[in-house]
Amino acid sequence: MTSNKNDWKDRLGVVYSTQSDFNYQTNHQSKQTTLPPQQQNLRVSLDKKQRKGKVVSLITGFIGTDDDLNELARVLKSKCGVGGSAKDGEIIIQGDNRQKIAQILQTAGYKVKII
């Protein structure tokens, strides 16, 4: 067992074990790694649902860490000269910038499909 003070929170559901060598296995997910750009299949689409009629370019299909997703979003926002955000594995760029985003991603080595 770990010596963490709050390790009991990881063991919720296990009350007591009579085995002397019992070792509880936690369900911690392994840290996700970011695939190289050549192995990424990104989809760039136009979206205006739940955005009060405003149009955004939506980039989906990114496989990697949140830090790498935020870095890619930062690069896209700065090169397009607009705002946006990155959350839940998606990058949201304000406005209809699909062609520009696709060109930037392709030069970076990503496989891009415009929907």
Query: What domains lie within the chain, and their CATH numbers?
Result: 32-114 (3.30.780.10)
Q: What single-letter DSSP state applies at residue 107?
A: H
pLDDT classification of 4: cutoffs 50, 70, 90: low
pTM given for the model: 0.71
pLDDT-wise least confident of 15-24, 40-49, 91-100, 103-112: 15-24
Structure tokens at 78: 């700065």
The average pLDDT across 26-55 equals 82
CA atoms lying within 13 Å on the CB side of residue 10? 14
The reported pLDDT for the residue numbered 1 is 47
State whether residue 24 is helix, strand or coil: coil
User: For residue 90, what are the β-bridge partners?
Assistant: 87
The pLDDT, as a whole number, for residue 7 is: 62
Average pLDDT over residues 99-107: 95
